[in-house]
Structure 1
């Protein structure tokens, strides 16, 4: 299928005077028409700098209007938009730049030093304020619009916790269908407003709500840095109707005085994603009568894949719901057999929103994309009513004494303790058990190992009770707020003595 005009331009024609983007820091706002004018300038600049179909344009900046300038300009030209992670180490950032070889790189001055010694022939643009486009030199260009739906539009690098980051290539089709599926399944409209405070170098910041809301004609409010109290104030000020945050952010929010007094009169639903959400977060929103639900996705698929009515979320606690309208889900056991009710297995996803391939990694593409299905590496189950639950990462499963243990069940129980803020369960090498179940916890008050053991035995089968407890002031996090279990395993890999026989 060829596109004569992209969906953004069609949206501009439909609602040119409606507000599209608001910068919460500067209080600037742009209508769809004004955003389009910016996109044309950036498109012409890219073209003047030799950017053509298939070339990469990168950005290294906090959440900012320039993300949309670059993204929609890439859509117009047929270039590939590459948002770079400014939280990673310099060596990892340089790897990504060398890997994608961008023709143009937009850089916020705060991150310019991160690019020192980076090997690239790309043209640098300084992105300091929204007026950066006034300094761009360009000549008027003609764009043929000869774009195929399978052409790549964006490349988002994964976190790299298991090796070098992988560039996940998303086509025009995959991004459009994720947005369409979200709008239809979640009931989004031009009356909706969201606050995007997840970093837009991550699929959660870009694809969960920002692009779907722009397709539907809604409003996107940008926040560059996360502060729990400020997020609540911005949600209230801009009358946001839907928001997506990760569990770590919600945990910080519910502890604030601002949250305890806020009522969120305009909010339809809060969505949690990125990692399984602790039940205490559900309870905090439930006590205030605020709709809250959990989602699931990954950079390679969507990332929106499920829908659950917030009314069902509390009595289907921890469920991500049922598949959205335009994607298929199955759970596989041993790569060949579909699981039965409540049986765990690996989650597979199929749909037009799926990624196309990993950049420069054909072999990894082949092992992840199987006959059109994405192997997610996540373990899940489906109950008798058709609701899906994410049990944990396949790589995080612990085999202790021949028994399979999924850390999430233990983590949920530990975090239900009133004195425990956060918990992460890992498996460590153990001569007796093969792997020992170990818990790393952050507590509000001193707890003894005996108290924790007794508490765990109330709910957990004996072999699931942690054999050691490590007390931390804070759990290490990845650049998108997930608990970094790789760091914990490295830190405690020599602590193999069991405390429970």
Structure 2
């Protein structure tokens, strides 16, 4: 196994790219790690790089280990290439990519693979100091100066910052693949008004990046709903398991299907709609409330930039709906409760709301829900005496 540390600078991305291309061609398995991640050393130790690697593994994409036992997703050359080819087929053919997300995560790493298949070199935005709209604009100008199509991949937080900064170059891309987190309606409307070609995607490391674009599975990918409407996925893009975790592998990969941790439904026209995580279902007073739906109701408010909703222990209701929100202006908490109540009913209205400057993150665009729970538990607001009609 080859451990590659990449902090987002072009030199380290180039080193990672060489290692990944070598792995795709049968070379040593690559374990990419970000030295800026406080949990990186613990994840490296958990991956046991000195022990033999599971067969047919080109890349191991690790978790941060922040929410429990670290795990590494095993990805084969077949899965990585199948994902990259299907992405180009859906977007309009191979093109020039701008790398604007950390390459140690699957979304960024796939930009390297897609560029390889396209016979191009990705433009690398320097992420060593974080995501800066002015740096994106500069990298975008370089990307757009060469023949297209032109693509990039972002997470919602990055897209929001580009819109806030008025980065006009973003409108030059033929597609901006958006993943890593939910796509709030307010952000969607802002992107549409700015003329951005945003393609929302759903997927994870276990599917070698996004495998459902705008609710429609990529070519070769199948999606179904299992028990309790849990989303299940099959196809050539699938991982073949987890590093040194046969029990977890057997539990998650069954008869060619990957059992995700998400609950979903299909719209009238057959598109997949992700409702939220299985463990984010809140049972409050006997009513099951999907946290994701409450988050969507909150972020539809123009004053709410982002939101995270969790269930907290409550002596009366069993669990209470609690929310941490980032707002663009001062807004009465009761107005937010009323908006959720009007859309989803009294049971879904948050009994606890805290306005924060920003939501804690695990990785690019992924909210650290455990940290949000700790934050809200440490800020005990007197619960609202709400009648769940």
* Fold similarity call, TM over 0.5: yes
How far apart are residue 439 of structure 1 and its match? 1.4
Provide the residue aligned with 1:178 in structure 2: 83
Are the counterparts in 1 of residues 360 and 371 from structure 2 also a CA contact under 8 Å? yes
- CA–CA distance in structure 2, aligned partners of residues 458 and 98 of structure 1: 49
1:97 aligned onto 2:44: yes
> After superposition, what is the alpha-carbon deviation per residue over 1:89-119, rounded to whole angstroms, capped at 9, x for unaligned?
2xx323333333446xxxxxxxxxxxxxxxx
Are the counterparts in 1 of residues 186 and 301 from structure 2 also a CA contact under 8 Å? no
Provide the residue aligned with 2:105 in structure 1: 202
Provide the residue aligned with 2:384 in structure 1: 499
Match of 2:136 among 231, 235, 238: 231
Superposed, 1:346-495 pairs within 5 Å as: 346-493=230-377, 495=380
1:277 aligned onto 2:183: yes
1:296 is paired with a residue whose SS is: strand
- CA–CA distance in structure 1, aligned partners of residues 225 and 212 of structure 2: 14
How far apart are residue 72 of structure 1 and its match? 1.9
Match of 1:253 among 159, 162, 165: 162
- CA–CA distance in structure 2, aligned partners of residues 264 and 492 of structure 1: 36
> After superposition, what is the alpha-carbon deviation per residue over 1:64-83, rounded to whole angstroms, capped at 9, x for unaligned?
21111111223345311110
Provide the residue aligned with 1:193 in structure 2: 96
Q: 1:74 to 1:279 in 2, by over 3 A?
A: same
How far apart are residue 179 of structure 1 and its match? 1.7
Provide the residue aligned with 2:113 in structure 1: 211
Provide the residue aligned with 2:21 in structure 1: 72
1:304 is paired with a residue whose SS is: strand
Are the counterparts in 1 of residues 40 and 64 from structure 2 also a CA contact under 8 Å? no
Are the counterparts in 2 of residues 428 and 496 from structure 1 also a CA contact under 8 Å? no
Provide the residue aligned with 2:74 in structure 1: 169
- CA–CA distance in structure 2, aligned partners of residues 230 and 297 of structure 1: 27
Provide the residue aligned with 1:134 in structure 2: none
How far apart are residue 85 of structure 1 and its match? 2.9
Q: Between Structure 1 and Structure 2, whose CA radius of gyration is higher?
A: 1
Q: 1:237 to 1:383 in 2, by over 3 A?
A: same
- CA–CA distance in structure 1, aligned partners of residues 87 and 195 of structure 2: 24
1:243 aligned onto 2:152: yes
How far apart are residue 280 of structure 1 and its match? 1.8
RMSD between aligned alpha carbons? 2.1
> After superposition, what is the alpha-carbon deviation per residue over 1:355-407, rounded to whole angstroms, capped at 9, x for unaligned?
11211111001110011110111111111211111111111111111111112
Provide the residue aligned with 1:59 in structure 2: 4
How far apart are residue 215 of structure 1 and its match? 0.7
Are the counterparts in 2 of residues 429 and 493 from structure 1 also a CA contact under 8 Å? no
Provide the residue aligned with 1:115 in structure 2: none
Are the counterparts in 1 of residues 171 and 196 from structure 2 also a CA contact under 8 Å? no
- CA–CA distance in structure 1, aligned partners of residues 47 and 325 of structure 2: 39
- CA–CA distance in structure 2, aligned partners of residues 96 and 421 of structure 1: 32
Provide the residue aligned with 1:158 in structure 2: 63
Match of 1:294 among 200, 203, 221: 200
- CA–CA distance in structure 1, aligned partners of residues 80 and 152 of structure 2: 19
1:220 aligned onto 2:122: yes
Gaps of 5+ in 1: 1-55, 104-119, 121-147, 308-319, 335-344
Count of residues in Structure 1 that have an aligned counterpart in Structure 2: 372
1:271 is paired with a residue whose SS is: strand
- CA–CA distance in structure 2, aligned partners of residues 455 and 93 of structure 1: 40
